[in-house]
A and B are shown apart, each in its own frame.
Chain A
């Protein structure tokens, strides 16, 4: 499927207006195929993306390439985070309902 989400990058524009990202440790909950995680890594964040869907996490890992040092993807659920208390500067609830 040929689908381009937010080609104008308005989402990133809005995120830059509400928070500082460079050097921040970020947890993205509901990362899907990693589209937003990679955009946050380009802004200088160190990102851990989680999603309950294994297939989506596989897709996300395929997209990593040059940001592999700054982005990690894991299968996980928002209601049972495996991370320790106080691990992140920013948590992004990404289109999570």
Chain B
């Protein structure tokens, strides 16, 4: 991540912007919409170590004089899926990518809730995302 930030600094024009867009370090909420009503089914249990390490790397790049934070916005980002099979595929990918424990109980809960619901069924994953705009500074450290 530190190398990536130095590379980003190199390819940016003087005064250019680095946009850092990543999930905030928090687990994601899982729920179902049926008949126009939302019901929460649980949360994911992910390792947040990578998110925290990335945030530390960005702060280190700021301290090194590469970038200056201009603004930051936090918002909730949704993923919408049509079937429990979609949810299962997504969560298995998440488990592999983010060193998360198996989510078998959550998968079963989602499958049961989906089976009981009758109309307009949608599965929703929602979690906070941060977007930060950092201004490139001309740094003697990297010249």
A93-B8 contact, Cβ under 8 Å, with A8-B78, A14-B75: yes
- Whether A94 lies near B21 (C-beta < 8 A) is yes
Is B106 an interface position by the 8 A CB rule?
Answer: no
Q: Which residues of chain B come closer than 8 Å to A17, judged between CB atoms?
A: 71, 73
Query: B-side binding surface: helix, strand, loop or mixed?
Result: strand
Main secondary structure on A side of the interface with B: mixed
User: What chain A residues lie within 8 Å of B11 (beta carbons)?
Assistant: 27, 81, 83-88, 91
Q: Which residue of A lies closest to B73 (CB)?
A: A14
Cross-chain contact A10 with B17 (CB below 8 angstroms): no
Q: Tell me which residues from 37 to 62 in chain B have a Cβ below 8 Å from any Cβ of chain A.
A: 50-51, 53-54
Q: List residues of B whose CB falls within 8 A of some A CB.
A: 1, 3-5, 7-8, 10-14, 16-23, 50-51, 53-54, 70-73, 75-83, 85-86, 89-90, 129, 131-133
**7 residue pairs A–B, Cβ–Cβ below 8 Å:** A1-B89, A3-B81, A11-B21, A17-B71, A18-B70, A86-B12, A93-B21
Which residues in chain A, 53-97, are within 8 Å of chain B measured between CB atoms? 78-81, 83-97
In the complex formed, the residue of A with least CB distance to B4 is: A78
Chain A residues within CB distance 8 Å of chain B: 1-8, 10-11, 13-15, 17-19, 27, 29, 36, 78-81, 83-97
Residues of A within 8 A of B54 (CB): 96-97
Q: A14-B75, A90-B17, A91-B8 are in contact. List 14 more A-B contacts (CB 8 A).
A: A1-B90, A3-B79, A4-B81, A5-B78, A6-B77, A14-B131, A18-B71, A78-B4, A81-B10, A83-B11, A91-B11, A93-B5, A97-B50, A97-B53
Residue pair B79, A5 in contact (C-beta under 8 Å): yes
Contact indicator B86/A3 (Cβ below 8 Å): yes
Which residues of A sit under 8 angstroms from B16, Cβ to Cβ? 88-91
User: Once the chains bind, are A93 and B13 in contact (CB under 8 Å)?
Assistant: no
B22 in complex: contacting residue of A8, A13, A97, CB < 8 Å: A97
Task: Specify the chain A residue showing the minimal Cβ separation from B9.
Answer: A91
Of the candidates A10, A88, A89, A97, the one whose C-beta lies within 8 Å of that of B51 is A97
Given contacts A3-B86, A78-B8, A93-B8, contact A11 B129 (CB under 8 A): yes
In angstroms, how far is the closest chain B Cβ from the Cβ of A15?
6
Chain B: which residue is nearest A11 at the CB level?
A: B77
A89: shortest Cβ distance to chain B, in Å?
5
